[in-house]
């Protein structure tokens, strides 16, 4: 039941700016809330008030012994208008980054994590080729503003999820329901990643830095047929895998845009990732062209299947394409009572440690309970409990387990007995 982390393996947490910072900013999620589109009516302007409470949160991270931190900056806060830069916001972010470094926490900065300034959205966002320069201008601003403090970057978080939820299912802003538009978004985001990859390297190289690492955070899931012998189920599983993640992987990794993806401008074939960033949560069991959950499988509070082996399957599929060090840039579960999160973390870390793959980092999603997009405040993923009314933070039992694992360099028989043994999943 016990296991040790491999030498050099680092553990930490991930967050996104919109989900923790708060503030009634001019972005698409504040607008989505005003349209009444958040399931529990939660206002992202509240979130965790991290923008003001950042020092308290960093102290909490340091107290838990976290070694790495993936975080984002808010485009709408830094650029409230297309031709305006808020220097005070840049100074405030720099202050936090300096403090994190002083605490010995390594930084991984995400440039785009689902949220657009409303001025960008009103111009058509990533759907229009002429708008892509705004994202690249923001990328340049970020790297020039923070490049002396941050060497490692995620250009875009989960481009396939953003395209699917915002432009195919219509559950996220701007609420479109078009397969063609979703494909255009995927292609344009892949192009943006490639150009941002080149740009970040160019800027930091000019500044004399040689430790730059750039990637994107890729959301992958295992797709399996509901009945393996059913030809239709197998076909749908292959099609979903291809359209949701296979096509875009080739574009993001290598600049290969295969039909029906079309690059908005010419791209040279190459390798556009310095490490593999993988966000993994669940498996989809396929009986039709859509989502599905295996009958009788363990599930979290959102009904997602808990399937640790899928993490290794997905990581291996990416590593077989491109031999790079692997960062698990997100992995976690919605467990509102913190009843099974210790077991979830244990099982996912165990398969990582038992695999031959070069997994170098694990970023748990997420640090503290936060604004969970269209679910609002109803879905708790954090290692730290947040009372949204008072903003009081309390480290959960799973957070204590996470800290104890870091300190022990793995899971000892004693830690397993104390935190994992008695926990069970929903079925």
| Nearest to 23, CA basis, from 49, 41, 42, 58 | 49
Could you please report the per-residue DSSP string of 105-118?
-EEEEEEESS--BH
Strand extents, DSSP E, 122-275: 152-157, 213-225
In 10 A of CB 277, how many CB atoms?
Answer: 30
Integer Cα distance of 41 and 410 in angstroms: 40
Place of tokens 């999603």: 365
Could you give the 3-state DSSP secondary structure of residue 2? coil
Phi first, then psi: what are they for 133, rounded to 5°? -60, -30
Separation between Cα atoms, residue 337 and residue 342, nearest integer Å: 12
Q: How many CB atoms lie within 10 A of CB 292?
A: 20
Write out the DSSP string of 300-315.
-TTS-B--THHHHHHH
SS3 222: strand
130 counts as catalytic: no
User: Which residue matches tokens 């699917």?
Assistant: 164
Catalytic residue among 21, 74, 96, 158: 158
Show which residues are catalytic. 158
């Amino acid at each position: 039941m016990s296991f040790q982390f491999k030498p050099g393996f680092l553990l930490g947490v991930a967050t996104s700016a919109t989900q923790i910072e708060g503030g009634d900013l001019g972005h698409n999620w504040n607008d989505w809330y005003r349209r009444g589109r958040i399931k529990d009516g939660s206002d992202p302007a509240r979130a965790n008030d991290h923008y003001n409470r950042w020092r308290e949160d960093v102290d909490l991270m340091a107290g838990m012994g976290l070694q790495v931190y993936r975080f984002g900056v808010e485009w709408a806060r830094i650029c409230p208008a297309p031709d305006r830069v808020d220097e005070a916001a840049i100074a405030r972010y720099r202050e936090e980054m300096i403090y994190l470094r002083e605490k010995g926490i390594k930084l991984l900065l995400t440039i785009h994590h689902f949220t657009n300034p409303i001025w960008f959205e009103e111009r058509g966002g990533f759907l229009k080729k002429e708008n892509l320069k705004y994202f690249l201008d923001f990328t340049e601003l970020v790297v020039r503003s923070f490049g002396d403090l941050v060497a490692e970057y995620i250009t875009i978080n989960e481009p396939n999820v953003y395209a699917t939820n915002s432009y195919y299912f219509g559950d996220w802003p701007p609420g479109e329901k078009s397969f063609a538009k979703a494909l255009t978004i995927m292609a344009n985001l892949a192009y943006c990643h490639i150009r941002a990859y080149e740009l970040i390297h160019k800027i930091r190289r000019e500044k004399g830095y040689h430790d730059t690492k750039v990637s994107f955070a890729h959301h992958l899931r295992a797709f399996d047929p509901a009945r393996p012998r059913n030809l239709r189920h197998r076909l749908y599983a292959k099609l979903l895998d291809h359209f949701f993640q296979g096509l875009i992987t080739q574009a993001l990794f290598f600049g290969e845009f295969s039909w029906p993806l079309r690059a908005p401008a010419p791209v040279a074939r190459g390798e556009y990732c310095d490490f593999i960033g993988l966000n993994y949560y669940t498996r989809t069991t396929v009986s039709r062209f859509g989502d599905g959950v295996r009958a009788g499988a363990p599930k979290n509070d959102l009904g997602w299947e808990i399937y640790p082996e899928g993490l290794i399957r997905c990581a291996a599929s990416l590593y077989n394409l491109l031999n790079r060090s692997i960062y698990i840039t997100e992995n976690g579960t919605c467990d509102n009572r913190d009843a099974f999160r210790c077991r979830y973390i244990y099982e996912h870390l165990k398969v990582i440690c038992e695999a031959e793959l070069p997994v170098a980092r694990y970023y748990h999603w997420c640090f503290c309970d936060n604004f969970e997009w269209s679910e609002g405040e109803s879905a708790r993923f954090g290692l730290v409990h947040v009372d949204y009314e008072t903003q009081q933070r309390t480290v959960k039992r799973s957070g204590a387990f996470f800290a104890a694992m870091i300190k022990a360099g793995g899971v000892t028989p004693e830690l397993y007995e104390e935190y994992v043994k008695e926990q069970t999943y929903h079925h």
